[in-house]
Structure 1
Amino acid sequence: MKKKILFLCGHNAGRSQMAQAYFNKYNTNENFVGLSAGTNIADQVNSACIEAMKEEGVDMNDSSNFFPKVIDEDENYYRIYSMGCNVKSELAIYDDLGIDDPAGQEGENIKIIRNQVKENIIAIIDDLNQNATN
């Protein structure tokens, strides 16, 4: 059974969706899978984030995979990373990534946020591969 790495934010519409997409794109360790969720979900994924990810060759238009979803607090997550929005959960958050909210942002600001997400995800994958019990 794969160990679930959860990327948690308030709306599950931007940062956490990008984190899920990057994690599953770059992770080569079959023991892990990236998921995303929110605590107060939006109606849809941020279209500016979808467009920014498209530039990276990541298609987040698959609404069966990329859609706002509420955190399942009964789920057994291996690690939970919050995205920087001070979300509260009954589950233990492993680390907060401190990434700005893309809501209401556009253009270069979205790309900066996207790149911050990517850098964090690559570091998380490296850490999991070096330090986690597989």
Structure 2
Amino acid sequence: MTLSIDQQLALKTAASRLQSQFDGIFGTETIERFLNTSYDQFASNSTIPNFLPLLAERFARQRLHALAKVEGHVTDNKPIVLFLCVHNAGRSQMALGFFEDLAEDRAVAWSGGSEPGNEINPAAVEAMLERGINISREFPKPWTDEIVRAADVIVSMGCGDACPVFPGKRYLDWTLDDPAGKDVADVRPVRDEIERHVRELLQELGVEARV
């Protein structure tokens, strides 16, 4: 895919921000490789090309954080949970929203999909807003090797055999209805079940949930 001048400049700016953040941990070549491959992950399906550099930067930052954890550069001992579903548009995004809201900065959560969709489920966004949690800025994304390897707990919500299996990881399987195609009224019970699961998980991890 040919990049416009604006996209090239945006990616260059993104690379500079990432280099500043990961200075002393990763070199320029690694950072640019992660940024470019992250861009490629979204380029084929995106309907909003102008946002691609921003999405690529956010995903590259997450992947670099994961690699830093795997390589021992991160020693804060915060548990990392990875929520996985098929499209990363509903269940896993709601779980991520609840986890980040309740755990605040005491733990880390990521999400991904085996077949990432093009946008977050609008009914899931509306249902979460009813709880004061805005997931509209999130975006469907795949999981990558370093993200799975960095996670302490991997929660599957319907991705089945497609979910990655790595030795030494704790795996949980939450059986939840897929909110795809449902209206808000039908998504609310799924949302509430996810919240219950997330609260239980935080308790098991010894992470104090926000009141």
TM-score between the two structures when normalised by the length of structure 1:
0.86
Which of 77-86 and 120-129 deviates more?
A: 77-86
**Within 5 Å, which residues of 2 pair with 1:70-109?**
70-75=142-147, 76-92=150-166, 94-109=171-186
* Higher strand proportion: 1
- Tell me the residue number matched to 1:57: 132
Superposed CA deviations along residues 30-64 of structure 1, whole A, max 9, x for unmatched, are: 2x2111100100000000000000000001122xx
Q: Is the 8 A contact 2:84 2:163 kept in 1?
A: no
- Tell me the residue number matched to 2:86: 10
State the identity as a percent: 33
1:114 aligns with 2:186: no
Q: What RMSD over aligned residues (CA atoms) do the two structures have, in Å?
A: 1.7
TM-score between the two structures when normalised by the length of structure 2:
0.56
* Count of residue correspondences: 126
Superposed CA deviations along residues 98-119 of structure 1, whole A, max 9, x for unmatched, are: 1110001113210001001101
Q: Is the 8 A contact 2:84 2:159 kept in 1?
A: no
* Higher helix proportion: 2
The list of structure 1 runs, each at least 4 consecutive aligned residues, that deviate by more than 4 angstroms after superposition, is: none
1:125 aligns with 2:202: yes
Unpaired runs of 5+ residues, structure 2, are 1-73
Unpaired runs of 5+ residues, structure 1, are none
| Residues 55 and 16 of structure 1, relative CA distance in 2, 3 Å threshold | same
Higher relative contact order (CA 8 A, sep 6+): 1
